[in-house]
Chains A and B, each alone.
Chain A
Amino acid sequence: MLASMLLRSRFGRCVAMSLWVALAAVDGACGSADPTAAAQVTVPRRIVSLGGPVTETLFALGAGEQVVGVDLSSLYPEAATKLPRVGYYRQFSAEGVLGLRPDLVIASHEAGPSAALEHLRGAGIDVEVVQASDDLAGARARIEAIAGLVGADPGPALAKLERDLAEVEALRARVTSRPRVLFVYARGPGRLLVGGRGTPAAEVLRLAAVDNAGEALEGMKPWSAEAVVAAAPDAVVLPSRGLESLGGIDGLLAQPGLAETPAGRARRIVAVDDLKLLGFGPRIGEGLQELLRALHPELGEDG
């Protein structure tokens, strides 16, 4: 009945007809394009990286020369920011990536939309998804996985990571204090979140040998003045870009509640490079050393 009604109207007939023609064309053309016919390559020459830590790892492995495109979250190293950007890795454009003629796309497992990833695979491009890591084991595994994909030797990058982590271990052995630290994500005044249990921030604090003042919370939770006073942190850690968004330390201290805490009274605010720390990329060891020194005065400047 529906079909007959549709066909009775000229509009319906016209739509049905054009739809049929268009899809027939898609079908025919898709049949002739064989996606598996793409060039078989062993060592990729043109890589597009979707995800900040993936890009950082590629450059750390010395494969930076082969990277021809990155996403908007790839802010390190400097050389990566000069490459064509294909949009934010959660919302990248398939055609933008195809236009860079990559033979390998390495995507963080959070990259998407899934339709765009499917389009890349459909075009015969090798798309490899790498698990994001939020602990040290994951950081090592990701370096090895990406090295395997690009045919690079993971040795030097892993050795550097291990050296950094050994240094972290040495620092941690000398730690005598155990401050309570609140990890704050800021997106501007009035829009603050604190890191509770089960967040990358909590893992970073654990590795820095401090207590998470946000332990009572689960996940990321909005800042509340009373909760901050109750948490009584000795220090506050936040990404440096977040601190800028608040207008520096004074802007952060103006947030309700903080002035009443030990951290606020002593002005113990530590700005960290979140690209080093929260992505658990190849520079996680460096980031942890900086954080340990900043949070444990007994370690001294000379380390």
Chain B
Amino acid sequence: MSRGTGKGARIRGVFVGLATLVVVGVALELTVGAAPVDVAEQLMCVLAGEGCDPGAQYILTSLRLPRALVAIAVGAGLAVAGAALQGLFRNPLADPGLVGVSAGAALGAALAIALEPRLPGVPAGFAQPALAFAGGLAATWLVHRLARVRGQTSVVGLLLSGIAVGALSSAAIGLMSYLADDRQLRDLSLWLLGGLGGASRDVALVLVPCVALAGALLWRRARALDALLLGEAEAFHLGVDVERLRRGVVTEVALAVGVCVAFTGMIGFVGLLVPHLLRGLVGPRHRALLPAAALGGAGLLLVADATARTVLAPAELPVGILTAMLGAPVFLTLLSRVRAQEAV
């Protein structure tokens, strides 16, 4: 009993810490940047209702605020998707790339870059997210289809077909980058590095509801995912329709990751690292893990993006480079600590 409340307090503590991280991240995202803007002064003048500098207001409300929202949505979306997949595969190394969604989205984006001059009538800047999203969904569907044998999907089947579809798309991307000219090659490599430079109000208006919807749907599956941790047969005996759960999780992950990747490219490591890290802090139960991952992912991406926008100012570093740079060492430390514990 006392142990239970102690654990509850600890989880609460972690949530308070994560929420603080998000708040700090939003504050950073709003205050730092290539253009000097005195945020406090702008807030004061909004309250006073006069004397606002329209340029500074514009930077805050049309550039930085949508960007913060996009960072929250993408960070949360990738991390929640990663947490759900790690639960589904019962493997802490699963990441959203496994079900083919990233590879398919990358192929879609590469197609858009290669065909851009030949896609008349498509508004500029729209073809790429649309094709990336379609590619992500198509690849996920294909992976899932290939993994199904006699109406049953096996974890191994999903993994193997995910790897195969991933290899196929990277071959196609390789072919296109071989044929591409320098400009297209540069576009493609920048897209693959991921970045929030395309964030705008319209992007936020698409991203936030999609990710929120997918997140809410995944959260409703928390209990079923918990049951699955015990094993497939055990989950079945607890009344979980494992087949339906699998289909649902894969679809919702494809929605969340597909829409994030479509607008921001490949931002690596968030989906793998954040849930992995937080499982150690809040435990494996998805009711706590999924929202914790959402907060953690949002916080990580906010801080990473604020850094990416300032280190090379007035240019920007693709944020995917930073998340991988931050993520890989943390991940390695974790791994060696786990190994050390196992050795004892």
What is the CA–CA distance of A22 and B315 in the complex, to the nearest angstrom? 27
Q: Is the interface of B mostly helix, strand, loop or mixed?
A: helix
Residues A15 and B58 in contact, CB atoms below 8 Å apart: no
A99 proximity list for chain B (CB < 8 A): 33-36, 313-314
A101 to chain B, nearest CB (A): 8
Residues A9 and B34 in contact, CB atoms below 8 Å apart: no
B66 proximity list for chain A (CB < 8 A): 26
A221 proximity list for chain B (CB < 8 A): 179
A43 proximal to B (CB < 8 A): no
A95 proximal to B (CB < 8 A): yes
What is the CA–CA distance of A114 and B197 in the complex, to the nearest angstrom? 10
A12 proximity list for chain B (CB < 8 A): 212, 216
B240 proximal to A (CB < 8 A): no
A235 to chain B, nearest CB (A): 22
Residues A23 and B183 in contact, CB atoms below 8 Å apart: no
Residues B314 and A11 in contact, CB atoms below 8 Å apart: no
Chain B: interface size category: 35 or more
Residues B316 and A15 in contact, CB atoms below 8 Å apart: no
Residues B65 and A26 in contact, CB atoms below 8 Å apart: yes
With A29-B57, A85-B314, A85-B315 as known contacts, state yes or no: A93 contacts B34, CB within 8 Å: yes
Q: Which of B186-210 contact A (CB under 8 A)?
A: 186-187, 190, 195, 197-201, 203-205, 208-209
B57 proximity list for chain A (CB < 8 A): 29, 32-33
Residues A33 and B58 in contact, CB atoms below 8 Å apart: yes
Residues A33 and B201 in contact, CB atoms below 8 Å apart: no
> Per-residue 0/1 for A35-54: is the Cβ within 8 Å of any B Cβ (1 yes, 0 no)?
10110000000000000000
B171 to chain A, nearest CB (A): 15
A117 to chain B, nearest CB (A): 9
Q: Which of A179-197 contact B (CB under 8 A)?
A: 185, 187, 191, 193
Residues B125 and A112 in contact, CB atoms below 8 Å apart: yes
A227 proximity list for chain B (CB < 8 A): none
A229 proximal to B (CB < 8 A): no
A96 proximity list for chain B (CB < 8 A): 34-35, 313-316
B31 to chain A, nearest CB (A): 12
> Per-residue 0/1 for B193-233: is the Cβ within 8 Å of any A Cβ (1 yes, 0 no)?
00101111101110011001101100110000000000000
A93 proximity list for chain B (CB < 8 A): 34, 197, 309, 314-316
Residues A220 and B52 in contact, CB atoms below 8 Å apart: no
B332 proximity list for chain A (CB < 8 A): none
A29 proximity list for chain B (CB < 8 A): 46, 57, 60-61, 65
Nearest 3 CB-CB pairings of A with B: A96-B314, A99-B35, A99-B34
Q: Please, which residue of chain A has its CB at the minimum distance from the CB of B216?
A: A12
> Per-residue 0/1 for A49-87: is the Cβ within 8 Å of any B Cβ (1 yes, 0 no)?
000000000000000000001001000000000001111
With A96-B313, A114-B124 as known contacts, state yes or no: A185 contacts B182, CB within 8 Å: yes
Q: Which of A220-274 contact B (CB under 8 A)?
A: 220-222
With A93-B309, A95-B33, A95-B59 as known contacts, state yes or no: A118 contacts B200, CB within 8 Å: yes
With A88-B190, A115-B203, A118-B200 as known contacts, state yes or no: A35 contacts B208, CB within 8 Å: no
B239 proximal to A (CB < 8 A): no
Residues B212 and A19 in contact, CB atoms below 8 Å apart: yes
B125 proximity list for chain A (CB < 8 A): 112-115
Q: Please, which residue of chain B has its CB at the minimum distance from the CB of A2?
A: B213
B120 proximal to A (CB < 8 A): no
B199 proximity list for chain A (CB < 8 A): 115
With A19-B208, A69-B314, A112-B124 as known contacts, state yes or no: A37 contacts B54, CB within 8 Å: yes
What is the CA–CA distance of A33 and B64 in the complex, to the nearest angstrom? 15
B159 proximity list for chain A (CB < 8 A): none
Q: Please, which residue of chain A has its CB at the minimum distance from the CB of B34?
A: A99
Residues B55 and A11 in contact, CB atoms below 8 Å apart: no
A16 proximal to B (CB < 8 A): yes
Chain B interface: which of A119-127, A145-153, A159-167, A281-289? A119-127
With A88-B186, A95-B34 as known contacts, state yes or no: A124 contacts B309, CB within 8 Å: no
A119 proximity list for chain B (CB < 8 A): 62-63, 200
Residues B63 and A94 in contact, CB atoms below 8 Å apart: yes
B62 proximity list for chain A (CB < 8 A): 26, 30, 33, 119, 122-123
What is the CA–CA distance of A29 and B313 in the complex, to the nearest angstrom? 26
Residues A38 and B54 in contact, CB atoms below 8 Å apart: yes
Mind listing 22 A-B residue pairs with CB under 8 Å? A12-B212, A15-B216, A19-B209, A23-B205, A29-B65, A33-B54, A69-B314, A87-B315, A88-B190, A90-B186, A93-B314, A95-B63, A96-B34, A99-B34, A99-B35, A100-B314, A115-B125, A115-B197, A116-B197, A122-B62, A123-B62, A124-B54
